């Protein structure tokens, strides 16, 4: 009995009769093809095969029927038939070309991205960062230098060179979507933003292991130990970690004691989880050398190890960082990148009613601060202090902002007063501040300031409307009465139209949006002599920034009324989606009527 092995899947079973001169056969010699020269049969079960090896050597071998399963005819007749799949060959050759492209194109990422890089961006990536292996670097160019562009070029160049597969970008929450948009639109890099839902829905239980290109919020990583545990999983190493606004990770030295913040501890952790580590900030130094060297220890712990001593710990950091200021940045033609910035402050004097409101709100805030400091609960005191700070900022923003803030706070405290009154009548005891009001300490406030706008607005509204330093129902009732009196003052100012700040802005708008034909009118309103005289134009573009949504809505109404066209103004704020935001930006850039 002769046992024949089953042929491999995808191979065609041949017989000895298929061996003909000029056929290419696999299986006679290991790992190479042979060309059949002649065949001489011995009966019907064996033959002598004369063949030629790839090196040209001629040899003979006896083959029997049981040798058939190991033989395979690769090409019939001529050795080069050119009948393969052309599209597949093109795909393979293109992949090979791309894999080797960086050897022939020294700035491959520039040519494969939708960017027009500037000289300092090219030198940062290709002279300062790429030659360093591994990269441990601080990019500290001034604001506006395009550090996001530099990071994108670095990431794409490392991918092209086969040196990067997994990348983590850590940034303040308010910048996460901006990073995602920039990297996708300019570099076609599909980064995903870390969210709680994604962590919960991870198939393996660790979303970091499943996702190679990640953007994570600084506060979410620094304050959440569960997320940090997932980040430290054995199979969760990163090829590159980029930390934007990295100065927020710094530690501080005060009275000889070092305060290591949770953000600094996160920086230390990230430094151990990656091969390449890039810190980015426009403010690397706060004026204290010991703080700066603690910050640089995130990049090189050995060099900056030990207790700082003035005059002893002096280190050259030129090999670890690059800093270029705006004045030194140039275009390719040598002209300055940034025009000279000329800033003017328009002074104005509050009306008597506005001055009274400002004084009385300030007194209210000061009294509540004093009461908050007397509260034993530090968290509650921090929450009340934060609420009062918000109130004072809104006072400076506009009469509308302070009016709406006072009204909402009064209404929420009145609602709480009614609840407490009912509970007291029922014989129940409850705290003055509702249990659902979030408690904030200094680090919580700092994290909130870096959160996305929509989260900041929601948290500020909840805290401002409900946090109070009152310790009894009587104190709460007195505070409500004070708020009602302040609200009445603010309402009178809005109804009287004595908003001095708006009148000054309106006078400038009147000049900027005056048609050119009226620019020679001697009666036309002019800005103060100290200000530059703008060139009047119906197509002038103007951006106005304001901190609070109430002021934003107030200004939209005022300006559209002044210009006489509602479509002349578009608004952007944290509550609108990306698509609507993009439409507003495009309208502002390209629509002459906006």
Secondary structure letter of residue 24 according to DSSP: E
Q: Which of 385-389, 497-501, 587-591 has the lowest mean pLDDT?
A: 385-389
Helix boundaries (H) for 336-472? 352-373, 378-397, 399-425, 442-449, 453-466
pLDDT at 449: 62
Highest mean pLDDT among 317-321, 374-378, 519-523: 317-321
Burial group, residue 167, by CB count within 10 angstroms (0-12, 13-18, 19+):
buried
The CATH T-level fold of domain 118-328 is Rossmann fold (3.40.50)
**Residue 485 in this model has a pLDDT that exceeds 70:** yes
> Distance between CA 153 and CA 142 in Å, rounded?
18
Burial group, residue 476, by CB count within 10 angstroms (0-12, 13-18, 19+):
buried
Write out the two tokens for 68. Answer: 């058939």
**Residue 308 in this model has a pLDDT that exceeds 80:** no
Mean pLDDT over the full length of the chain: 82
**Count of other CB atoms within 10 angstroms of residue 6:** 7
**Residue 440 in this model has a pLDDT that exceeds 80:** no
Q: What own/partner pairs with CB < 8 Å and gap ≥ 24 does 508-513 have?
A: 508/346, 509/542, 509/559, 509/562, 509/563, 510/562, 511/536, 512/536, 512/540, 512/542, 513/537, 513/538, 513/540, 513/563
**Residue 37 in this model has a pLDDT that exceeds 60:** yes
pLDDT at 526: 47
pLDDT at 374: 66
Confidence of residue 5 (pLDDT cuts 50, 70, 90): very low
CB 63 within 8 A of CB 39: no
pLDDT at 7: 45
**Residue 17 in this model has a pLDDT that exceeds 70:** yes
CB 181 within 8 A of CB 578: yes
pLDDT at 4: 45
> Distance between CA 70 and CA 7 in Å, rounded?
8
**Residue with the larger pLDDT of the pair 21 and 83:** 21
Confidence of residue 73 (pLDDT cuts 50, 70, 90): confident
CB 264 within 8 A of CB 251: yes
Write out the two tokens for 277. Answer: 């580590």
Write out the two tokens for 65. Answer: 């029927």
pLDDT at 165: 94
Q: Percent of the chain scored above 70 by pLDDT? A: 81
**Residue 319 in this model has a pLDDT that exceeds 80:** yes
Strands of 109-222, DSSP E: 136-139, 167-171, 192-193, 213-217
pLDDT at 77: 47
pLDDT at 10: 45
Q: Where in the chain is the domain with CATH 3.40.50.10810?
A: 118-328
- The DSSP line for 284-296 is ---S-HHHHHHHH
In tens, the pLDDT along 123-139 reads 999 999 999 989 999 99
Q: Where in the chain is the domain with CATH 2.30.30.30?
A: 16-75
> Distance between CA 54 and CA 26 in Å, rounded?
12
**Residue 29 in this model has a pLDDT that exceeds 70:** yes
**Residue with the larger pLDDT of the pair 225 and 460:** 225
- Taking residues 42-54, what's their average pLDDT? 90
Q: Which residue has the tokens 């405290």?
A: 413
pLDDT at 522: 41
Largest CA distance in the chain: 123
Q: Which residue has the tokens 């006078």?
A: 507
Q: How many helices (H) and strands (E) does the chain have?
A: 21, 14
The phi-psi region of residue 285 (left if phi > 0; otherwise alpha if psi is between -120 and 50; otherwise beta) is beta
**Residue with the larger pLDDT of the pair 116 and 235:** 116
pLDDT at 79: 56
**Residue with the larger pLDDT of the pair 330 and 537:** 330
In tens, the pLDDT along 538-569 reads 567 889 999 888 899 999 999 998 888 888 89
- Taking residues 295-321, what's their average pLDDT? 74
pLDDT at 516: 43
**Residue 28 in this model has a pLDDT that exceeds 50:** yes
pLDDT at 258: 82
pLDDT at 151: 96
Q: Which of 1-5, 181-185, 324-328 has the lowest mean pLDDT?
A: 1-5
Q: pTM of the entire structure? A: 0.71
Burial group, residue 159, by CB count within 10 angstroms (0-12, 13-18, 19+):
buried
- Taking residues 484-503, what's their average pLDDT? 88
**Residue 388 in this model has a pLDDT that exceeds 90:** no
- The DSSP line for 197-252 is HHHHH-SSS-HHHH-SEEEEEHHHHHH-HHHHHHHT-TT--EEEEEEETGGGG--E
**Residue 579 in this model has a pLDDT that exceeds 80:** yes
Confidence of residue 443 (pLDDT cuts 50, 70, 90): low
Which helix (H) or strand (E) segment holds residue 62: the answer is strand 58-64
Q: Which of 143-147, 378-382, 413-417 has the lowest mean pLDDT?
A: 378-382
CB 541 within 8 A of CB 588: yes
- Taking residues 389-399, what's their average pLDDT? 84
**Residue 3 in this model has a pLDDT that exceeds 50:** no
> Distance between CA 47 and CA 68 in Å, rounded?
12
Burial group, residue 548, by CB count within 10 angstroms (0-12, 13-18, 19+):
buried
In tens, the pLDDT along 157-177 reads 999 888 999 999 999 988 898
Options 3.40.1180.10, 1.10.238.10, 2.30.30.30, 3.30.70.270; which CATH number does 16-75 get? 2.30.30.30
pLDDT at 164: 93
Q: Is 59 in a helix, a strand, or coil?
A: strand
């Amino acid at each position: 009995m002769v046992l024949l092995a089953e042929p491999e899947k995808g191979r065609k079973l041949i017989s000895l009769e298929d061996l003909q001169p000029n056929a290419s056969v696999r299986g006679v010699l290991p790992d190479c093809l042979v060309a059949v020269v002649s065949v001489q049969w011995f009966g019907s079960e064996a033959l002598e095969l004369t063949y030629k090896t790839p090196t040209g050597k001629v040899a003979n071998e006896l083959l029997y029927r049981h040798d058939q399963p190991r033989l395979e005819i690769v090409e019939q007749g001529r050795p080069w038939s050119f009948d393969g799949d052309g599209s597949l060959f093109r795909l393979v050759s293109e992949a090979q070309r791309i894999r080797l492209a960086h050897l022939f194109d020294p700035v491959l990422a520039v040519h494969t991205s939708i960017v027009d890089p500037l000289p300092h961006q090219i030198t940062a990536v290709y002279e300062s960062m790429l030659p360093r292996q591994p990269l441990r670097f601080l990019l500290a160019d001034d604001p506006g230098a395009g550090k996001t562009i530099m990071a994108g070029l670095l990431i794409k160049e490392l991918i092209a060179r086969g040196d990067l597969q997994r990348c983590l970008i850590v940034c303040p929450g308010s910048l996460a979507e901006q990073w995602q948009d920039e990297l996708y639109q300019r570099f076609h890099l599909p980064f995903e933003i870390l969210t709680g839902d994604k962590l919960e829905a991870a198939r393996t239980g660790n979303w970091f292991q499943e996702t190679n290109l990640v953007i994570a919020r600084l506060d979410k990583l620094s304050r959440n130990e569960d997320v940090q545990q997932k980040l430290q999983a054995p199979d969760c190493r990163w090829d590159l970690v980029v930390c934007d606004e990295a100065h927020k990770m710094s530690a501080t030295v005060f009275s000889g004691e070092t305060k290591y913040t949770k953000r600094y501890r996160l920086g230390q952790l990230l430094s151990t989880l990656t091969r390449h580590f890039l810190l980015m900030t426009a403010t690397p130094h706060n004026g204290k050398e010991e703080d700066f060297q603690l910050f640089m220890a995130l990049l090189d712990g050995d060099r900056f190890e030990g207790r700082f001593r003035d005059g002893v710990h002096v280190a050259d950091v030129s090999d670890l960082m690059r800093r270029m200021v705006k004045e030194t940045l140039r275009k390719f033609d040598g002209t300055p990148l940034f025009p000279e910035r000329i800033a003017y402050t328009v002074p104005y004097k509050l009306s008597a009613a506005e001055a009274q409101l400002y004084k009385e709100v300030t007194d209210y805030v000061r009294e509540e601060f004093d009461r908050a400091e007397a509260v034993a609960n530090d968290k509650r005191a921090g929450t009340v202090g934060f609420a009062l700070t918000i109130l004072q900022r809104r006072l400076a923003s506009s009469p509308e902002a302070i009016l709406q803030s006072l009204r909402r706070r009064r209404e929420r405290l009145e609602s709480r007063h009614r609840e407490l009154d009912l509970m007291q009548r029922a014989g129940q005891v409850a705290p003055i501040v509702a249990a659902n009001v979030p408690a904030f300490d200094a680090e919580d406030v700092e994290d909130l300031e870096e959160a996305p706008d929509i989260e900041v607005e929601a948290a500020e509204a909840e805290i401002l409307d409900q946090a109070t330093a009152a310790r009894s129902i009587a104190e709460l009732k007195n505070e409500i009465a004070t708020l009602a009196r302040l609200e009445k003052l603010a309402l009178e100012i809005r109804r009287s139209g004595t908003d001095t700040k708006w009148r000054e802005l309106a006078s400038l708008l009147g000049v900027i949006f005056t048609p050119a034909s009226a620019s020679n009118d001697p009666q036309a309103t002019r800005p103060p002599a100290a200000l530059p005289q703008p060139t009047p134009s119906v197509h002038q573009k103007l951006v106005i920034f304001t901190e609070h949504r109430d002021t934003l809505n107030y200004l939209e109404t005022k300006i559209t009324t002044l210009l006489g066209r509602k479509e002349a103004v578009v608004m952007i704020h944290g509550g609108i989606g990306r698509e609507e935001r993009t439409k507003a930006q495009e309208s502002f850039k390209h629509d002459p009527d906006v």
